[in-house]
Amino acid sequence: MLTEDARSGADGRRCSPAACAALAHARRRAARHGRDAACGLDLLAGLLADPRSRAAEVLTRAGACLDELAARLDDDARTRPHDTSHGNHAGLPDPA
């Protein structure tokens, strides 16, 4: 599960401002969809929220349309409840 203070990684190193913003976005997105913990799709949405992020750059170069991908992620979150207790949608580990 992502905690409110996600500035330090599990190894004690500090996260970049972009990583902190993506983690915060992931937590807010999970809460908006009624989940206590963020999952990988929440984090992907957080990474894509900043069009200057490395993730956005890589996906754009690969031919992905970021607006379409973000819309699909939002649609997925609205139409399918994600089980954060196990499997592909397991809650992201606490980085602290």
- The verdict on residue 40 lying in a domain is yes
Range of the domain at 42: 17-86
pLDDT at 46 (0 to 100): 92
Kindly report the pTM of this predicted structure.
Answer: 0.66
pLDDT at 74 (0 to 100): 82
- The verdict on residue 46 lying in a domain is yes
- The verdict on residue 4 lying in a domain is no
Number of domains in the chain: 1
pLDDT at 26 (0 to 100): 92
- The verdict on residue 21 lying in a domain is yes
- The verdict on residue 93 lying in a domain is no
Q: Where are the alpha helices (DSSP H) in 14-53?
A: 17-32, 40-48
- The verdict on residue 10 lying in a domain is no
- The verdict on residue 47 lying in a domain is yes
- The verdict on residue 12 lying in a domain is no
pLDDT along the chain (96 residues), means of 10: 48 76 92 88 91 90 92 78 47 47
Q: How far is Cα 49 from Cα 64, in angstroms, rounded to an integer?
A: 14
Instruction: Find residue 14's DSSP bridge partners.
Output: 8
